Amino acid sequence: MQQNAGLTIGLTRRSLLATGAAALATPMLSRRAFAEPTELTMLAWYGHAEPDVVAEFEAENNVKFIPKYYTGGDNMLGLISQSPAGTYDVILSDAEYVQQLNAAGYIEQLDPADYAFDEFFPEFQQFPGHWADGALYSVITRFGFLGVAYNTDALTEAEASSYNVFWNEALTGKVGHFDWHLPNLGQMSLLNGNASPYDIDEAAWAGVQDKTMSLRPQVGGFFDYGGTFSSLNDGQMLAFCGIGDWITGVLEKNGAKVRSAIPEEGGLQWTESFSIGKGSQKQDLAKKWIQYITSAKGQAKSANMAAYPAIVPNQKGWDVLNAENPDEAKRQGMVPGQSNAMDLIRSGRIKYRQLPLQQDLEAWNDFWSEYKGA
């Protein structure tokens, strides 16, 4: 700032030296006044280390988060494998990648007693993949559902209550795909009636491929994160496969006429959880952060995260959210005592998104490329 000011009002050697010295001295002065905040590195999807989520924790603990944002679990694994151990203190991961993180030795073992699991809904106290041989490696922090995302001007909720709506003639060229095979093919697998959409044998996998291929003429495009937002927002795509409220919720809150429905064939659940990076020098602080964000107070913030909203597993977090922001609690189905997100899970309509169990991930990915190129 000071140097810029110097540049605009006629720069002399003396003024340059003076401003330079002042600029160099500034950190020293501030260090004298306040203790320098401790830096905590976080590897996460975009939004998790933004001020709306972390500001309070940063102020209370004199911490400064240094985020590194990624898109997708593979991207995350790539970033970790290319960095020396201890680079990331806190790692936010999609649940299906926690096992990969653990197998590769990228995350520390955690002590279950440190975290408020007793406040969690029973379903989330022993989340699959987060525990190995009775040891805890990751703490679930938020989740959401994937179903049929649709434009409310073009489709009714009743129409969007089945994945078959994607084949609707009125939607030809207006069906978009979030460009990632896992959620899209999982939804096709649900539509084909596979009770465990990712645990399917070769015959069922062939069926999923055939079903998916038959959708190809309807598809108007394959979109990344930004493209998905803009094409739903401007009505270019009227229905979207492979996403849910994590995209439409943000748009809806900003006035776009889009929603997500969980169809009768069932929905998928994405799940995010926090781990501590192997070799982190600030494990106590990292633990403190995970305690904070999974506490009732932190969960209410997490549910309403500006980048993308989510449902939280802490029951007391629901209470805080209902007290602070009842509209958002209602919008996301987090009101206790009435039909809510937990009922959806308990009725068996929601399946966890997973890596394919009977096929190689490569087979799914290769098929996705073929589908796109068809």
Partner 1 sequence: MRKTLSLYGLTFSLPLLIWQLLFFVFPLVFLVALSFWTVKNFRMQVDFDSVNWVTMYGRSVFWKAYGTTFALAAAASVLVSALAFPCSYAISFKLSETARRWAVFLMVIPFFTSYLVRVYSWQIFLSDAGIINVMLGWIGLGPYALLNTVGATMIGYLTLTFPLVVLLQLFSLVFIDRTLIEAAHNLRCGRLRTVFAVIIPSARVGLVIAALFAFILSFGDFVSPIYLGGGDPTTLSILITDTTKSGQQWPRAAVIALTMIGTLLVVAFAAVRFAYKGRTK
Within 13 Å and on the Cβ side, how many CA atoms surround 63? 24
CB-nearer residue toward partner 1: 80 or 341? 80
28 is an interface residue for partner 1 by CB under 8 A: no
Residues 6+ away with beta carbon under 8 Å from 95: 127, 128, 129, 130, 138, 140, 143, 270, 271, 272, 273, 352, 353
Which pair of structure tokens corresponds to residue 358? 């009977």
User: Which residues make beta-bridge pairs with 151?
Assistant: 258
Site residues for partner 1, window 37-96 (CB under 8 A)?
72, 74-75, 77-78, 81
Query: Would you count residue 225 as binding partner 1 (CB under 8 A)?
Result: no
Q: Is 198 in the site for partner 1 (CB under 8 A)?
A: no
CB 149 within 8 A of CB 258: yes
Stretches 129-137, 222-230, 297-305, 310-318: which one binds partner 1 (CB under 8 A)? 222-230
257 lies in the binding site for partner 1 (CB under 8 A): no
- Joined together, the tokens standing for residue 311 give 């449902």
Cβ-contact 92, 47 below 8 angstroms: no
Q: Let me know the angle formed at the C-alpha of 205 by 202 and 210, rounded to the nearest 5 degrees.
A: 125
**Cα torsion through 177, 205, 353, 149, rounded to 10:** 30
Task: Indicate whether 333 belongs to the interface with partner 1 (CB under 8 A).
Answer: no
Task: Calculate the CA dihedral of residues 183, 188, 193, 194 and round it to 10 degrees.
Answer: -50
Question: Nearer Cβ to partner 1, position 131 or 225?
Answer: 225
Q: Does 219 bind partner 1 (CB under 8 A)?
A: yes
**C-alpha distances out from residue 121 to 46, 321, 330, Å:** 26, 15, 18
Q: How far is the CB of 179 from partner 1 (least distance, A)?
A: 6
Is there binding between residue 373 and partner 1 (CB under 8 A)?
A: yes
The answer to the question of residue 111 lying near partner 1 (CB under 8 A) is no
H or E element that contains 242: strand 239-244
- Residue with Cβ nearer partner 1 (233 or 269): 233
What's the min distance (Å) between Cβ of 184 and partner 1? Answer: 12
Asked if 300 and 325 touch (Cβ cutoff 8 Å), the reply is: yes
* Residue 145 interacting with partner 1 (CB under 8 A): no
Q: Number of residues interacting with partner 1: please give it, by CB under 8 A.
A: 36
Window of 56-64, 189-197, 268-276, 360-368 that interacts with partner 1 by CB under 8 A: 360-368
Query: Shortest Cβ distance from residue 260 to partner 1 (Å)?
Result: 21
What's the closest the beta carbon of residue 57 comes to partner 1, in angstroms? 31
Among 121, 131, 222, 225, binds partner 1 (CB under 8 A): 222
- 38: β partners: 63
Q: Which of 142, 181, 301, 353 binds partner 1 (CB under 8 A)?
A: 181
Question: What are the distances in angstroms from CA 179 to CA 187, 336, 369?
Answer: 13, 35, 10
Give the nearest distance from C-beta 18 to partner 1 in angstroms. 34
Binding residues for partner 1, rule: CB under 8 A, are 72, 74-75, 77-78, 81, 100, 103-104, 173, 176, 179-181, 219-224, 227, 230-231, 234-236, 361-362, 364-366, 368-370, 372-373
